[in-house]
Amino acid sequence: MFHKEGTPSILLGTIFTVAVLLLADKFIDINWLQMLVQIFAVLVLIIILQFFRNPKRTAIINENHILAPVDGKVVVIEEVYEGEYFKDKRLQVSIFMSPINVHVTRYAMNGIIKFSKYHPGKFLVAWHPKASEENERTTVVIENNTFGAVLYRQIAGALARRIVNYAQEGMQVVQGTDAGFIKFGSRVDLFLPLGTPVNVVLNQKAIGGKTIIATKE
| Same-domain status, 138 and 164 | yes
pLDDT tens, 144-155?
A: 999 999 999 998
Q: How many CB atoms within 10 Å of residue 105?
A: 28
Backbone torsions φ then ψ of 18, nearest 5 degrees: -60, -45
- Mean predicted confidence (pLDDT) in 90-112: 93
Task: Decide which of 138 and 156 is more confident.
Answer: 138
pLDDT tens, 27-82?
A: 898 999 999 999 999 999 998 888 888 888 888 899 999 999 999 999 999 999 99
What confidence score (pLDDT) does residue 58 get?
86
| Same-domain status, 21 and 71 | no
Mention every residue, 6+ apart, whose C-beta is less than 8 A from residue 140: 113, 115, 116, 117, 151, 152, 153, 154, 165, 167, 179
- pLDDT-derived band of residue 178, with 50, 70 and 90 as boundaries? very high
* Chain mean position to CA 44: 21
CA 98 vs CA 18, 55, 114, 125, 127: distances in Å: 28, 17, 29, 11, 11
Domain annotation covers residue 193: yes
- Mean predicted confidence (pLDDT) in 109-131: 79
CA 184 vs CA 52, 54, 97, 150, 195: distances in Å: 9, 14, 9, 25, 33
| Same-domain status, 142 and 201 | yes
For residue 62, give the amino acid letter.
N
Catalytic residue check, 9: no
- pLDDT-derived band of residue 217, with 50, 70 and 90 as boundaries? confident
Domain annotation covers residue 207: yes
Share above pLDDT 90 across residues of the chain, in percent, rounded to a whole number: 65
- pLDDT-derived band of residue 83, with 50, 70 and 90 as boundaries? very high
Total domains, the chain: 2
Share above pLDDT 70 across residues of the chain, in percent, rounded to a whole number: 91
| Same-domain status, 187 and 125 | yes
Computed over every residue of the chain, the mean pLDDT equals: 90
| Same-domain status, 211 and 119 | yes
* Catalytic hit among 9, 94, 132, 186: 186
| Same-domain status, 69 and 37 | no
Burial state string for 59-82 with b = 16 or more CB within 10 A and e = fewer than 16: beeeeebbbbbbbbbbbbbeeeeb
Domain annotation covers residue 56: no
Range of the domain at 41: 4-51
Domain end (from 51, 74, 89): 51
Domain annotation covers residue 169: yes
Residue 160 in this model has a pLDDT that exceeds 60:
no
Domain annotation covers residue 84: yes
Domain annotation covers residue 27: yes
